[in-house]
Amino acid sequence: MKPEVKKETKKPSKKQVTVKMRVNIWTVIFGILLTLFFLPSVFSLLGIGTTDLKVDLSTALTDLKDEKIEKVSIEKNNLILTYKDKTTKLASKEEGQSFTDLLVASEIDPNKLQFTVVDQTFAKAMAEVISIVLPIILLGGLFFYMMKSQTRGAQDIFSFGKSKAKIFAKGKQDTTFADVAGVDEAKKELVEVVDFLKNPDKYKKIGARTPKGVLLFGPSGVGKTMLAKAVAGEANVPFFSMAGSEFMEMLVGIGASVTGDTPILIKERDGVCLISIGEFVDKFYSKNSEGLMKVKGVETLGLKPEVNKFWGSRSNVRPVFGGSKWQGVDSVYRHKVKEIYEINFLGGKIKTTADHSVFVREYGGIRAKETKDLRPGDVLVNLPMNTRAWNSKLNITEHFIKKHEFPIESPQILLDFWQDNPDEIKSYEYAMANQGTMAQYAIAEEIGVSQATVGNWQSGKHLPQSISKKAIKLSFPDTVKVTPELMKLFGYYTAEGRGTKSLEFTFGSDEIELVKDVAKLMNEVFGLKDPKIVYTDTNSIRIIYYSAHLGRFFTKHCGNGSHNKHLPNFIWSLSGEYFLQYLKGYWEGDGYRTKEGKLSMTSVSHQLIKELTWLCSMHGIKVGVKHEFQKEGRSILHGKPLPETESWTLIIGKTSDPFSEGEKVGHFKRAIIKSVNKKKYDGFVYDLCGVENEAFFGGESPTLLHNSRVRDLFAQAKAQAPSIIFIDEIDAIGRQRGRSGLVGGHDEREQTLNQILVEMDGFTPNESVIVLAATNRGDLLDPALLRPGRFDRRVTLDMPDKEGRQAILTIHSKGKTFGKSINWARIADRTVGFSGADLENMLNEAAIGAARLNKPEIDMTDIEESATKVKLGPAKKRLQSAEDKKITAYHEAGHAIVTHFTKGMDPVHRISIVARGMSLGHTLIPPVADRTHDTKTRLLDQITAMLGGRAAEQFVFHEMTSGASNDIANATRVARAMVIEWGMSSLGPVNFGPDTSSGEFGQTDWYQENAASPAMQEKIDNEVRHIMENGLKEAEKLVKKYKSKLDLVAEELLVKETVDKDQFEKIVGKKINGEGMGILKEVTSQKS
C-alpha cells in the first residue's frame, strides 16, 4: 500500500526568504592580505600619495632660480618640489651629488631657499622588510586557504585529464530523502543501504554480506540521480559522481596510446633500461589479447610538478614543468587501431593515436593537448627545458635549465666481479658427490651438461668458473666499487673496447695519452700493471689484458661488439660527476670536436645513442642526433672494403658542452612542431596507466606524454570510506560484451566494464564503499554486472502516480509565487505521464512565462501552457491558408466530439490548432486515473477516438487528407497488437508474434521470427482491417449525429485557436460518464 499523503489544494504559503551568510575567517584574512599587497600599486595608478609630474633636474634648477618653487624636500636622491601654485613635482639628482653644490653651480644662494633633508633610513628599512615579509605571509595564507578549501584527495592541480568525478565531501551533500518525491517504494529499499553506511559494524557482527552495488533502473527524469545524492546525504558520507561516458575516458583514455617503437625508461627491481613501450608491454599479454593489465614494482620517468603561482581567472595556481622524477606505473594498456598521427618536431618524432595527449608549453605553464588538436608551431615539453626569468635586481634575463633531479652524491654500488652461478656450483657438487656411484652420462643428463664436462670436473682437469677463480694468477677482488675512475674506463670500453676471451682497447697511433690514461685507470681500479701493448699496421694501438673474467665483467655492463654496446644499467642513478666521467671516456675514445666547437660521437649501436640522448637530456645537456647510411666499398688503411653501414651521431652543441672551460649560456632550440600527419596503421598501440600527475616521458628524446588515468575514482573513494561512487548512465559502458557490433575491432566499453568488475571484486568487507549506478536501459546491461557481489540489488523507479506528482509539485513550487486560482489536485490530474523532471521543467517554464508577461503571480493559464510546451514543444506561428486552418479545426473537433460522446472515454481537457513541434494541432485527453490494464472495449474506443479526425474530414470536406497519417498509424498499431499479441479477435487467444524470452529489465534473451503461414497472415491482416473499419464507422456515426456541435467547436477553434475543457463543455454539454475508462494516448495530433 502507498503511504497516506495529505492532499493540499489550497495555494502554497508565500515564500519566506531567509538570508544565510557563511563567513569563512580564512577567506576574510586572505582578502585583507591580498588588499594590502596590491594597495600600493592601486595608489600608484590612481596617483594617491605620488607627485603630479616628474621633471628633469635642469628644469627644476631653472624654476628654483626663477623663484617659482616654495620649498624643497630631499629624500636621498629624490627632490620633492612644492611650487607656489601648490603643485608637487619630482626631480632626481645623481647618486652622492650634494644638493648645495648643485645650487652653487647654478648660481643659486642656498641661504635664500627653504629646503629640508628627510631621513628615511628607518622607513626604507621597514619598507624593504615589508616587501619581503608580506609576500611570504600572503603566499602562506594562499597555501593554507587552498588546503582548507580543497576536498581531501579530491583536487589535484596537476591532474591534466579532462574527465573528473564531481566530488562532494562528507557533510557537503545536503540532498536528503525529503527532497525526492514520487519514489516512496524506492526510498524504502534504499533505507538499508543508508543504515549500512552509517552502522557497518551492525551488519558485519551478524555476518550479513552488505551490497557492493545498487542499480537504479527507471525511465528518464524520475529522480535516479537525486535519489543517489539523497542516499549520500542521509548517510552523511562522501559522494563521487561521474557519467558513464566520462568513466570510460578516465579508465582507458578512449584508446589514447603511442606506437610500440616509442622508447620509454623503465625501472624494475633488477635495474633501469631504456626499452620500446611495445617490447615492455607485450610481455604481459598472450598473443592477440588486448586491454588493461595490472603491473607491480614498475616505475617510469614521470613529471616533477611545480607551480608558478600565476593568478588567472580560472585557478590560483598553474602547473609548470619542474623536471622529471621516477613515478609508479599502475597498469599497462594495448589495443589495435587503424590510423595514427605522426608528430614531427625539431629533434624527433612521435607516433600516437588522435586522442592521445602530449604536453605543450604555454605562457605561464604547460597543458595536455590532444594530438588531433596540435598545430605546427606548438612547442612540446621535453628534457632538458630552458626557461628564463627577469632578475629585477641585476636587470638581466636569467636562464634556467629544468632537468632530472639526480643525487648530489652517488650511492655506493659494488659490482660482482666473478658473476658466480649458484646453479653451476650445485651441479658440480652433485657430479662430485655421485662420482663412482652413477655413470657419467647419467649425471650429465641429470644436471644438464655434457658428459665430457662431468669427466673433466671429476678428473680435476677443469673446474667451474666459481671454483677455478682461486687458481687464476691475476688476483681480482670479489666486488668492484663504482667510482668515477671505473666510469671513465667503462666509457673508454664502450667506445673502443672488446671483451671476447680477454679485455682489449684499441686506439689510434696518435692517441698515446689515451693509452696511458687507460693503463693508469686499470691500475687504480683493478691493480693491473704492464698490459700488453700491440702496435698494428693499421696505425692503431691495442691494450690487451689476458683475462676472460675481466672481459666478461666489461661485457656484462657495457655489451660486446660495436652494434651491441649500451650504457651500464646502474648509471641512471649516479650523480652528474660519475656520468660526465663516463661521457668523457666515451667521447675521447670515439668522438671529436668539430670546427664549430660541437662535440660529435658516432656509433653503429642505435640503443647506445638513444640511451646517451636520454641520459644527457636528463642531466641538462641538450643533444641532437644525426642518422646516416654509409655506402659499401669504403675501406680503412690496408683493410678490406666495408659493407653498407647505418650509424647514428650524437651531437652536443657548443652552448651545452659539459667539458668546455668557458661559461655555458645554456641556450638551445625548443621542440617546435613542424607537422602533424594522419597515417594508416594496422597493429597494437600502447600506453602506461596510473602514472602520478598523468604524465610520462617517451620518444627518441625524452618528451612529456599524457597517460591514461586508472583507478583514480576508486582509490579516492576507498581512501574516504565509507563512501558512495555514483555512475550515471552506466549503460554507456556496461552493455553486454560481444554485442557491440564492432566485429573484429576493439570496444573501449568492454575494457572499461572489465575494469569496473575488477574494482568491485576487489572491495573488501571492511572498505564500506558502495557503487550506485543509474540507467534507463537495463535491457542493455551485461549479465556480469548483475551477479551477486556486484550490482546485486536492483531498485526500480517508475513514473509518479497522482499522489507522487502532487508531492513533487509541492517540492518544486517552493520559491515561486502562485495565484489563488491554482488547483494542485487538478494539475496532478492533468500531468499523467509526467516525470519528476517534466514537472520541475513545467513549473519553471510557467514562472518564465508569467515573468515575460509581467505578471505578479503564476496562474493556471501559465501552467497549462507550460505543460503543453513541455510535452509538445513551443507554439509555432505558422502561416497557414484559410483552407488548411479550417481542415485542422474540423480534424481536431472531430477527435473531441467522438471522444466526448464515446461512453468509455475520459473527458476532453483541451483542443488546439496551434502548431507545436511536428503537429498542426492536438486534442488532449488525460486519463482520470492511473491504470495498468486495458480491456478490449477500451482499446476499441481508443481506435474510434483516434479515427475521429479522419471521419470529420471525410464528412465535411468529402476528402481524405494526409493530416490523419499519425492517427492511422497509432490506431493500426493498437489493432494489430489486439490480434497478434493479446488474442482479442475471432482468431482466438493465440499469439501470432515472434517467440521471445525477456529478462529482468525487458531485454530480449531469446528471439524467433513469426512462423505464421501466408494464409494465416492474410487472416490476421483481415482482422486488423475489420477492427479499423468498424472504428471508422463508429466515428462517422458520431460525427454525423452531432454535426451541429462539430461545426460550433470548429468555429470556436478558428476564432480562439485553443479551447479548454470548460469552453468545450459549454458547447457540447457535460460528459455523462465523467469517470470514463479513458484513453491511454494523451495526445492525438495531426502531423504537419
Catalytic positions, written as ranges? 892
Query: In 289-328, at which residue ranges do the beta strands (DSSP E only) sit?
Result: 291-294, 299-307, 319-328
Using DSSP bridges, classify how beta strands 365-370 and 915-916 pair: parallel, antiparallel or unpaired: unpaired
Q: How far apart are CA 703 and CA 382, in angstroms?
A: 4
Question: What does the alpha-carbon distance between residue 917 and residue 873 come to, in Å, rounded to a whole number?
Answer: 5
Q: Counting every residue, how long is the chain?
A: 1088
Grid coordinates representing 792? 546485486
Instruction: Provide the total of helices (H) and of strands (E) in the chain, helices listed first.
Output: 31, 44
707 vs 242: CA distance, rounded Å = 20
Q: Which three cell numbers stand for residue 237?
A: 558520507
Query: What's the CA gap between 363 and 59, in Å, rounded?
Result: 43
Q: Which residues of 876-901 are buried (b: 16+ CB within 10 A; e: fewer)?
A: eeeeeeeebbbbbbbbbbbbbbbbbb
Give the β-pairing of 623-630 and 271-276.
unpaired
What does the alpha-carbon distance between residue 983 and residue 992 come to, in Å, rounded to a whole number?
9
Whether the Cβ atoms of residue 835 and residue 800 lie closer than 8 Å to each other: yes
Tell me the CA distances in angstroms from 645 to 209, 496, 626, 630, 631, one per residue in order: 69, 18, 14, 5, 7
Q: Using an 8 Å Cβ cutoff, are 91 and 58 in contact?
A: no
Angle, vertex CA 65, rays to CA 60 and CA 69, nearest 5: 60
d(CA 249, CA 252): 6
Query: Which of 3, 182, 7 shows the shortest CA–CA distance to 800?
Result: 182
Task: Give Cβ neighbours of residue 550 (< 8 Å, ≥ 6 apart).
Answer: 474, 476, 499, 502, 503, 526
Q: What is the distance between the terminal CA atoms of the chain, rounded to a whole angstrom?
A: 45
Copy the grid coordinates of residue 926: 488525460
Place of cell 660521437: 601
843 three-class SS: helix
Amino acid identity of residue 591, one-letter, is G
Which H or E run contains 468? helix 465-468
Phi, psi of 617 (to 5 degrees): -60, -40
- 693 vs 58, 356, 752, CA distance in Å? 60, 15, 21
Task: Please enumerate in sequence order all residues whose Cβ is within 8 A of that of 200, keeping only pairs 6 or more positions apart, or say none.
Answer: 210, 722, 768
- Per the listing, cell 538499508 goes with 192
**Cα–Cα distance for residue pair 189/796, rounded to 1 Å:** 10
Cα 513 to Cα 588: distance, rounded to the nearest angstrom: 10
**Partners of residue 724 on adjacent β-strands:** 239, 770
What stretch of H or E contains 186? helix 184-198
**Nearest-angstrom CA–CA distance, 379 and 362:** 8
C-beta of residue 163 within 8 angstroms of C-beta of residue 193:
no
Question: CB atoms < 10 A from the CB of 818, how many?
Answer: 22
b/e map 238-255, b = 16+ CB within 10 Å: bbbbbbbbbbbbbbbbbb
Sign of the torsion formed by the C-alpha atoms of 427, 432, 433 and 437: positive
